[in-house]
Amino acid sequence: MTRGAAILAAIAAIVAAATPALSDEPTFDPRVMPKLLREIGRRGTPNAYFQQCPKDIWRKSAPRSNVVLPDMNYDRCERDALACARLCFDGHNPEACFETARVIQENGGEDQQLKAEAMFAQACATGSAAGCTNRSAGMRIDRLPDSLRGNDKAANLCTYETFKLSCGEGDAWGCTMYGAALQKGEGVAKDEDAAMTAFKKACEIDASFVACQYAKSYMETLRSH
């Protein structure tokens, strides 16, 4: 693995795990997990989307523009994960898809993380830019579609294009990952000026978010040349 790829893989692991602070009291009932996984398993789209490059599935399952979607957050989804998953699939709610993925990521075992990846892919297809970022980040830690295994060039191009897309859609982590790819030449020729622009955008989106903290550290690396 090249130094650039190692850096991106490290960031990818952080992206995949980064969540806002949760309450001290656990709200997820572990007995729900088998039911949640069965609910996801009976739907055909998550696994199908998992096997594609995230930028190619962006908004494939998006709701109609005139549909008003109910608000969803992690705490609500954790309390009723089955309802959240159904809102994702039947209501085409991108946040419900994204938070369902996070519930599995936070509460499932290592053997269930591919299901979380599939739900991040579903979120991407439903219109969550953060879902695209997290699915692409998962690819950086070897959770690849079968078609990209053994083809590092194609995999790097896919993740680069996905981070570019999610950054353009206003996802701060997407901008940090996009900048890192540009800085190190992962999937694209090195372009430090464009990388700096991407890092700055991550902080413009949310200066208090951890994505900005990482972007700042990479800006310092560029400035120290």
pLDDT of 3 higher than 50: no
Query: Does the pTM exceed 0.85?
Result: yes
Q: What would the pLDDT profile of 195-206 be if each residue is shown by its tens digit?
A: 999 999 999 999
- Residue 20 is predicted with a pLDDT of 52
Q: What is the mean pLDDT of residues 179-194?
A: 96
Q: What is the mean pLDDT of residues 174-188?
A: 96
In sequence order, what DSSP letters do the residues of 130-197 get, joined into one string?
HHHHHHHHHHHTT---GGGTT-HHHHHHHHHHHHHHHHHTT-HHHHHHHHHHHHHTSSS---HHHHHH
- Residue 21 is predicted with a pLDDT of 46
Q: Which residue type is seen at 146?
A: D
Write down which residue in 102, 121, 140 finishes a domain.
Answer: 140
Q: Which residue type is seen at 119?
A: M
Let me know if residue 146 belongs to a domain.
Answer: no
Write down which residue in 109, 140, 171 finishes a domain.
Answer: 140
pLDDT of 223 higher than 70: yes
pLDDT of 87 higher than 60: yes
Write down which residue in 140, 171, 199 finishes a domain.
Answer: 140
Specify the higher pLDDT residue, 6 or 219. Answer: 219
Lowest mean pLDDT among 12-21, 66-75, 155-164, 216-225: 12-21
Alpha-carbon dihedral 193, 15, 21, 95, rounded to 10 degrees: 100
Q: What would the pLDDT profile of 90-106 be if each residue is shown by its tens digit?
A: 999 999 999 999 999 99
Let me know if residue 183 belongs to a domain.
Answer: yes
Looking at the structure of the chain, the number of domains it has is: 2
Question: Are the C-beta atoms of residues 85 and 40 closer than 8 Å to each other?
Answer: yes
